[in-house]
Amino acid sequence: MVALAADVMAASDVRSVRLWRAPDNTRLVFDLSGPVQHSVFLLSSPNRIVIDVSGAKLATNFDQLTLSNTPITGVRSAQRTPNDLRVVIDLSAAVTPKSFTLAPNQQYGHRLVVDLFDQESGAAPSLPTTVATAPQVPVTPTQAPPKLTPIPNGKRDIVIAIDAGHGGEDPGALSPVKGQYEKHVTLAISKELQRQINAEKGFRAELVRTGDYFIPLRKRTEIARKKGADLFVSIHADAAPRAAAFGASVYALSDRGATSETARWLADAENQSDLIGGAGNVSLDDKDKMLAGVLLDLSMTASLSSSLNVGNKVLGNMGRVTPLHKRRVEQAGFMVLKSPDIPSILVETGFISNPNEAKKLASASHQQALARSIVTGVRQFFHENPPPGTHVAWLRDNGKITLGPREHVVSSGESLALIAQRYQVSLVVLRSANSLKSDVIKVGQRLQIPATALAAQP
């Protein structure tokens, strides 16, 4: 009995400490050998944060932490009792703290996460905070798209939000190549994609993640919305149980479930990012699903139609530079695509779990080719469907964009009337161009969209 009591009283070790800097916050992650209880409170004059960890002892040091470009000036600790650890974070500016613990998963053991959110200059410091080990995170309601400020000639740019998958605490898929993580590959491709899009007149690309830090899935679409995005493109480099799996894919959201076992497996894996990275609470409970369903129903039909349209164009162009895993746009329940007002696609650039593809994905020339194919598909979509008030819409309306015949592949749930509306062509013209005797069409059927109709869009 004495030995058992000693085991119960044994403290968990703080094995290591890691730090990640994001544009608006700093994250400290304490890797633990077991569960702990903790509390957090603020002190001023000077600014500092105190973290009391019950049932823990320090088995590392803080010397390896890089504190530059953070509000942290120092981290120190004291063992108040053999099983009670106090960590003090010295600050150069006031911050708002949030903390929570995470249970073990496939990649990490127990963790204590402390997020320090930057405050605006002159903002009042937050109240002292004590956080339990099962934090609750409120659902952030969908906000209306911001009103974009027109450029001087009254023709704004089309905004593309580029989301580099994973990041920071969440490395994404692991490569057989030592030191290669999905989060680094996706950021490199995203930055190249941004460079190429910004070289296109009338387009502007905004990165959702600009460095190696974690962003919760719902926050990614919020960032895109705040930037006024007309299109959301999430970049990934997936893994598969079989190392031989290869090829690129493009996904759009499915509100009726995945269209294939591969799509379902990938969606489940990607949706675990919040568990791995630690959003404080994974938004997968019944309340979140109900709220998401209501929000999606508001405008998802039009958004999903556009997502499938741009996805088909991107996939077709990617097939010219890399093998395709699937030759049609797949649909699955990726949480990062659940924006009811922004057309959204997820681009899997290849299987990082495949040694040959992992090597290609690390190549700058291949990254450039992938980015070029995505840009081509995006350009084709917006030349046909430019948002009103944009420079591209002005070019189209003044006959400065020449559109040749286009081919449309019928997707599930589409009707001939919906396709005619999308391309702004009459049903009579669309039937005539495809020698159709009725409005009955089949999934996978290829329809020719007349060039005259495209050029005549108002």
Instruction: Specify whether 174 is located in the same domain as 236.
Output: yes
Backbone region of residue 318 per phi and psi (left: phi > 0; alpha: psi in -120 to 50; beta: other values): alpha
| pLDDT at 289 (0 to 100) | 44
* Contact status, residue 196 vs residue 133, Cβ threshold 8 Å: no
Of 118, 136, 168, the residue that ends a domain is: 118
Is the per-residue pLDDT at 152 higher than 60? no
- CATH number of the domain bearing residue 424: 3.10.350.10
Q: Is the pTM of this model over 0.75?
A: no
- CATH number of the domain bearing residue 106: 2.60.40.3500
- The model's pLDDT over 51-108, given as tens digits with 9 standing for 90+, comes to 999 999 999 999 889 999 999 999 999 999 989 999 999 999 999 999 999 988 778 8
Q: What is the C-alpha R_g of the chain?
A: 25
How far is the CA of 167 from the CAs of 173, 215, 281, 361, in angstroms? 11, 7, 18, 17
Instruction: Specify whether 105 is located in the same domain as 227.
Output: no
- The model's pLDDT over 198-227, given as tens digits with 9 standing for 90+, comes to 999 999 999 999 999 999 988 999 999 899
| pLDDT at 231 (0 to 100) | 96
**437 is in which domain, residue-wise?**
402-455
Is the per-residue pLDDT at 390 higher than 80? yes
Least confident of 41-45, 135-139, 295-299, 364-368: 135-139
Instruction: Specify whether 260 is located in the same domain as 407.
Output: no
Classify residue 153: in a domain, yes or no. no
Classify residue 138: in a domain, yes or no. no
Could you give the 3-state DSSP secondary structure of residue 121? coil
- The model's pLDDT over 175-194, given as tens digits with 9 standing for 90+, comes to 888 878 999 999 999 999 99
Classify residue 1: in a domain, yes or no. no
List, in sequence order, every residue forming a beta bridge with 409; answer none if it has no partner: 446
| pLDDT at 411 (0 to 100) | 78
- Residue 154 confidence class, pLDDT cut points 50, 70, 90: low
Beta strands in 244-343 (DSSP E): 249-253, 330-332
Instruction: Specify whether 170 is located in the same domain as 237.
Output: yes
Instruction: Specify whether 268 is located in the same domain as 195.
Output: yes
Instruction: Specify whether 105 is located in the same domain as 178.
Output: no
- Residue 129 confidence class, pLDDT cut points 50, 70, 90: very low
Instruction: Specify whether 410 is located in the same domain as 380.
Output: no
Instruction: Specify whether 46 is located in the same domain as 83.
Output: yes
Question: What's the token pair of residue 230?
Answer: 């007309």
Q: Domain count for the chain, please give it.
A: 3
Those residues whose C-beta lies under 8 Å from the C-beta of residue 198, and which sit 6 or more positions away, are 204, 205
Classify residue 292: in a domain, yes or no. yes
Please compute the mean of the pLDDT values over residues 26-46 and round it to a whole number. Answer: 93
When comparing pLDDT for 279 and 388, which is higher? 388
Of 118, 144, 177, the residue that ends a domain is: 118
- CATH number of the domain bearing residue 261: 3.40.630.40
Instruction: Specify whether 430 is located in the same domain as 323.
Output: no
What is the chain's mean pLDDT, rounded?
81
- Residue 370 confidence class, pLDDT cut points 50, 70, 90: very high
When comparing pLDDT for 278 and 363, which is higher? 363
Is the per-residue pLDDT at 392 higher than 50? yes
Of 118, 149, 177, the residue that ends a domain is: 118
Closest CA to 436 of 423, 413, 417, 411: 417
Those residues whose C-beta lies under 8 Å from the C-beta of residue 55, and which sit 6 or more positions away, are 11, 12, 34, 35, 36, 37, 83, 84
Instruction: Specify whether 184 is located in the same domain as 110.
Output: no
Hey, what amino acid is at 98?
K
When comparing pLDDT for 104 and 126, which is higher? 104
Instruction: Specify whether 380 is located in the same domain as 424.
Output: no
Instruction: Specify whether 412 is located in the same domain as 337.
Output: no
| pLDDT at 284 (0 to 100) | 33
| pLDDT at 179 (0 to 100) | 79
